[in-house]
Homo-oligomer: A and B are copies of this chain.
């Protein structure tokens, strides 16, 4: 039974702000009425988080790790209720949500393992050289440290893995920061269930309650108040470029600016070179149709731009891609806003004389358009993400035109090259290194592996920091600062910098990597 309340520093409270309603995207029916929080509720959640921080940051990593593992177990303990409530709110289907729950719990446990192992802290030690001339060298040690309360804005398209207990929350908690989640109004009951899971883990571990709060709401003013609160130290966000940029601007114009790690989606250009389309026509066409329509095309890594060379092979490919798309059943979109937004984009595309529609009838089914590279270059708005199962083939006269079009792209999360000729693709690769965060060879960008090497980010506008990832264990670094200690007594040093190195972590000691004691 969903309460409709917000979890503010350990108490479930009725919101005192403006109302909103949740709907089922499966049939458009109304699910629940909510009241979002108001300013004073935001203020209380953040102030309590700021106090909880001083306790939370000092806890042993083993305790922090055990707590995060308990969060994962409590999510699993929600059982079928979580999947059913989430499916009602998102229409993503039980099989997909079962997989996404596994991913969500897997992420939490990966961060727990990471902090228990400890080497992620980038500990660096330069020992003293008392007899150095002209001046002695002091003992200097530095390490990653938590930063304080983090505001997390959850995404609609991954209601578990990028939402209330998703990667942003998991990485911010693992780094030692309290988290205040602004729940996505598209799946508030899912958020409430997840908040209950973390509430149980907090109680079980006897942690400060304000280590986590969930604020329900659909009012942008509340988001602004959260970002502008002087005790918020960083923001994690996944969503549209428009909203991400708004939060970034709010955070950058604070008296004390704070970083906003916004992952804002992209059109994920995909390049199919001549040999590849000839040798693997059906394989690529079928794989691409699956990637375009996965999750009803509502993935930030959906390939929306497909660059090909004009040829008979490409013509054959287009036929196969259209056929493959037409065999995939229509599916529901996450909410009315996304559906309206997609409808408008598709209408605009259909009305554009430079574009030719190859297939597409109903919103929620696969759409495919083509355009010449010349017209693509002339119409920069065609590079914008279309959030839904739609793609645009850009036909290039030759490799020169293809690399020219690639050179003029903005930032995207991913870029994909299908090639059976590495040499021919060399220049394209060099261009994509400046345009995307992940270059995929002979595959598809959807399916973002959670692992230490994953980089899910990219040049603006795909994200706000091209060095930051929101997927994979490296995401923890976003929510850290660095503190260094000069000639500190052992008792004042964080564990990772003590001589004895109790966890045996990898450290840079006088410029050399070592897991030894000092």
Chain A residues within CB distance 8 Å of chain B? 54, 58, 119, 124-126, 135, 137-138, 140-142, 144-145, 147-148, 248-249, 252-253, 256-257, 259, 410-411, 422-423, 425-426, 429-430, 433-434, 436-443, 447, 449, 451-455, 457, 459-461, 464-469, 473-474, 477, 480-489, 491-492, 506, 508, 511, 513, 515
Q: Tell me if A440 and B486 are in contact (CB < 8 A).
A: yes
* Contacting pair A259 B465 (CB below 8 A): yes
Whether A453 lies near B125 (C-beta < 8 A) is yes
State A508–B477 Cα separation when bound (angstroms). 15
Residue of B nearest to A492 (CB): B429
Determine how close the nearest CB of chain B comes to the CB of A113; give it in whole angstroms: 9
Contact B467 A482 (CB under 8 A): yes
Q: Which of B248, B257, B480, B487 contacts A443 (CB 8 A)?
A: B487
- A256's nearest neighbour on chain B, judged by CB, is B460
User: How far apart sit A460 and B468, CA to CA, in the bound complex (Å)?
Assistant: 20
Q: A135-B447, A422-B492, A486-B438 are in contact. Are A455 and B257 (CB under 8 A)?
A: no
The 10 closest A-B pairs by CB, nearest first: A455-B484, A466-B481, A252-B252, A124-B453, A440-B486, A140-B453, A126-B451, A126-B453, A438-B484, A142-B453
Which chain B residue has the least Cβ–Cβ distance from A457?
B482
Q: Which residues of B contact A460 (CB under 8 A)?
A: 256-257
- A140 pairs with B513, CB closer than 8 A: no
Q: A460 to B254: give the CA distance in the assembly, Å.
A: 11
* Set B142, B252, B433, B474: member contacting A483, Cβ < 8 A: B433
Separation in Å of the A513 CB from the closest CB of chain B? 5
Contact check, A452 vs B54: say whether CB atoms are below 8 A apart. Answer: no
**Given A433-B145, A461-B256, are A485 and B438 also a contact pair (CB < 8 Å)?**
yes
- Complex partner residue of A138 from B58, B126, B449, B484, CB under 8 angstroms: B449
Is B256 in contact with A439, judged by CB distance below 8 angstroms?
A: no
Q: Given contacts A449-B138, A453-B142, is CB(A486)–CB(B256) below 8 Å?
A: no
Query: Which residue in chain B gives the minimum CB-CB distance to A425?
Result: B492
- When C-beta atoms are compared, the residue in chain B nearest to A137 turns out to be B449
Q: How far is the CA of A57 from the CA of B215 in the complex (A)?
A: 45
Contact A437 B484 (CB under 8 A): yes
Establish whether residues A453 and B508, one from each chain, have CB atoms under 8 Å apart when the complex forms: yes
Report whether A469 and B491 are in contact in the complex, using a CB–CB cutoff of 8 Å. Answer: no
Q: Is the CB of A439 within 8 A of B135?
A: no
A485 to B126, CA, bound (A): 34
Q: Which of B257, B440, B484 lies in contact with A439, CB distance below 8 A?
A: B484
Docked Cα-Cα span, A352 to B375, in Å, equals 68
Which residues of B sit under 8 angstroms from A473, Cβ to Cβ? Answer: 511
- CB distance A466 to B489 under 8 Å? no
Are A441 and B147 neighbours in the complex by a CB distance under 8 Å? no
In the complex, what's the smallest C-beta–C-beta distance from A106 to chain B, in angstroms?
Answer: 13
Nearest B residue to A445 via CB reads B486
Closest chain B residue to A416, Cβ basis: B486
Query: Is the CB–CB distance between B443 and A138 below 8 Å?
Result: yes
CA distance in complex: A126, B452 (Å): 7
Return A429 CB to nearest CB of chain B, in Å: 5
Minimum Cβ distance to chain B for residue A167 (Å): 16
User: Do B126 and A449 touch across chains, with their CB atoms under 8 A apart?
Assistant: yes
Chain B residues within an 8 Å CB radius of A459? 256, 481
Report B-chain residues with C-beta under 8 Å of the C-beta of A474: 124, 142, 482
Given contacts A252-B257, A422-B491, A437-B484, list 20 more A-B pairs with CB under 8 A: A54-B430, A124-B453, A125-B453, A126-B451, A126-B452, A137-B451, A248-B252, A249-B252, A252-B252, A429-B492, A433-B483, A437-B483, A439-B484, A439-B486, A439-B492, A441-B488, A453-B484, A457-B482, A466-B481, A473-B511
